[in-house]
Amino acid sequence: MGVWANLFDFLDSNASSPVVERKTQMALLPILHYPDPRLFRRAARVTAVTDEIRRLAADMAETMYAAPGIGLAATQVNVPLRVIVVDVSEERNELLTLINPEIVDRQGEVMSEEGCLSVPGIYGQVPRAAQIRVRAWNEEGETVEFEADGLLSVCIQHEVDHLEGRVFVQYLSPLKQERIRAKLAKRARMTA
């Protein structure tokens, strides 16, 4: 039951999880690292925007900013729910929280050099749509729909991939994927 037990503990207001017990204090969440199998699980839809979901989004944002990164999906912090946070602004003051995000239209194609908080220090060229139309819930549970291009488009696509159980390195050749696994395994051995 692993991941589902984690989900149910998270949603249970009486759970002993520090994420649930905190009332106003935000926390840094541990980020899963590739090739952790939990990164390849598809996230479940959020059925209602609750205080726990808003707290999760706030903790995810704090984690993303501290890492530092420009996007984070709930699956990267071992919460299998369809929640992402993104901030591609220079000043780091334009946080976008998307719950149950869907890409409803894609236009054009660009090659984007991407990195990932779950694959630290690794970068690769990934094909992405140049422009997207996104539909999601905001933190109030209201449906929002907007268009995105440039870095915002790439970042949203990257984070939605996480919700589908995909990591950007899966777009790379099998040889590059194997080299990345070996490099990360070596790094883990050296820091253990």
Which positions are annotated as active-site residues? 159
Structure tokens at 110: 């660009």
- Beta bridge partners of residue 112, listed in sequence order: 126
CA dist 113 → 56, 98, 159 (Å)? 28, 23, 15
The whole-angstrom separation of Cα 159 and Cα 115 is: 11
Q: How far is CA 186 from CA 179, 180, 183, 190, 192, in A?
A: 11, 10, 5, 6, 10
Q: In this structure, are strands 83-86 and 71-73 parallel, antiparallel, or unpaired?
A: antiparallel
Q: Is the dihedral of CA 22, 35, 160, 131 positive or negative?
A: positive
**Token pair recorded at residue 122:** 């690794």
